[in-house]
Amino acid sequence: MLSLFRLPRSLTINQVPKVFHEDSIISGYRHPCSSATDCILSLFQLTNETLNIWTHFLPTWYFLYKLVTVVLMNTAWHDSFSWPLLVFLASCCTYPLASSCAHTFSTMSARARHICFFFDYGALSLYSLGSAITYSAYVFPDKWVNSIFHQSYVTVAVVNTLVCTTMACYSRLGVPFLQYNHETLKRFPEVKTPKLAKALRILAFAYPYLFDNIPLFYRVFLCTGEGCTDNGANILHYYHIALAFLTAFLFATHLPERLAPGSFDYIGHSHQLFHVCSIMGTHFQMEAIEQDMASRRHWLLTHSLPISFANTLGVALLSLVLNLTVITLFSLPLLFPSFSLKRKTK
């Protein structure tokens, strides 16, 4: 059956250009100039990317099911209190979908690989904004509700998405037009200074996560006395936080494959575990948010900031447009040689 599709043979690390190399992964590489059809068919062939794709593609449908359920069951469009949850669930569908698409099509060419992961980073930034919008609406401890920090929290989160998408995209190739263009793709800082590139990317994901979680960390770890919102959702928040730190640990350390390069090429390497932990963390985060939303609804509606189109769906759409603009700026010199040439002749 598989021979009908003539699946290409997978390659070793020495057979693909450096830009495709993964730390401590020796075999299972797809051809670096695969066609779109080859990329899609590779979902059904065991390569070092297969489980990276499926571990985010299947959860996309789980979160989409949750989103549709909320829309249909709660008549959410008429209930503005549900809008932050809708934004969050939409972001929970977007980031695994963008990630699975990036992993699927990243071997079409070196340029395609960079553009794929630019979208992946943008989707992660939007997920952090989705978290911030729901935390602002449902998770802030009673003590901090309506504080100056609360009032400026979502605005700062929007700025963070721009800073972090820019930083993550920059970590791959540098500044578009100035440090790379269509012809000089080989001058990428990721290969010259891989540790700096990795550190920038970790910072780009960790910083918005830590910022978003300031009210939650205060609520579950530091707050004492009245107004700490100590309810049944806290245990779910703990699960989410533990999984988030495990996710970051796996991303940063490349364990277990660093201990035995080549032994986890197909199954069990850190990126697959990173995907699984991120999805489990998002699941518990969603459960915690839903529980806070249900148990605090009455109190929040009378004491917290009003929920409007502008500070939920509006701000998410604005951030989507701004992040797409950043991704376009980083992608243009890779897509069109004329952009680089025009600048040169000026």
Scan residues 116-145 and list those touching Zn ion (CB under 5 A): none
Q: Rounded to the nearest whole angstrom, what is the least distance from the CB of residue 119 to Zn ion in the complex?
A: 12
Q: Phi and psi dihedrals of 193, rounded to 5?
A: -130, 75
Radius of gyration over every alpha carbon of the chain, rounded to an integer in angstroms: 21
Site string for Zn ion, 215-254 (x = CB under 5 A): ----------------------------------------
Q: Residue 312: name the closest of 82, 93, 24 by CA.
A: 82
Residue 254 in marked binding region: no
Name the token pair of 192. 């010259």
> Residue 48 or 99: which CB sits closer to Zn ion?
99
CA neighbor of 51 nearest in space, from 257, 199, 236: 257
Binding site annotation covers 283? Answer: no
Q: Which is nearer to Zn ion, 99 or 291 (CB)?
A: 99
Which residues are bridge partners to 180 per DSSP?
A: 176
Residues 71-100, interacting with Zn ion (CB under 5 A): 99
Cis bond leading into 256, ω under 30°? yes
Q: Which of 121, 119, 105 is nearest to 39 (CA)?
A: 105
Task: State which residue, 5 or 249, has the beta carbon closest to Zn ion.
Answer: 249
Cβ-closest residue to Zn ion?
Answer: 99
- As measured in angstroms, the least distance from the Cβ of 99 to Zn ion is 5
Measured from the Cβ of residue 167, the count of other Cβ atoms closer than 10 Å reads 17
Nearer to Zn ion, 50 or 99 (CB): 99
Strand-pair partners of 176: 180
CA nearest to 108, candidates 11, 215, 49, 31 = 31
Applying the rule CB under 5 A, the residues between 97 and 116 that interact with Zn ion are 99
**Please, what is the minimum distance in Å from the beta carbon of residue 154 to Zn ion?**
27
CB of 271 to Zn ion, least distance (A): 6
The DSSP symbol for 180 reads B
CB of 248 to Zn ion, least distance (A): 13
| Total Cβ atoms within 10 A of residue 110 | 18
Residue 99 or residue 104: which is nearer to Zn ion going by CB? Answer: 99
| # chain residues binding Zn ion, by CB under 5 A | 1
Q: Which is nearer to Zn ion, 24 or 99 (CB)?
A: 99
Give the nearer residue to Zn ion in terms of CB position, either 99 or 312: 99
Q: Does the annotation list 303 as a binding residue?
A: no
Angstrom distance (rounded) from CA 152 to CA 10: 50
Cα distance between residue 110 and residue 102, in whole Å: 12
Say if residues 290 and 88 touch (Cβ distance below 8 Å): no
Residues 6+ apart with CB under 8 A from 173: 114, 179, 180, 185, 188, 189, 190, 330
Least separation in angstroms between CB 340 and Zn ion: 29
Q: How far is the CB of 103 from Zn ion (least distance, A)?
A: 6
Residue ranges for the known binding site for Zn(2+) are 103, 271, 275
Report the binding-site residues: 103, 271, 275
> For binding to Zn ion (CB under 5 A), which residues are involved?
99
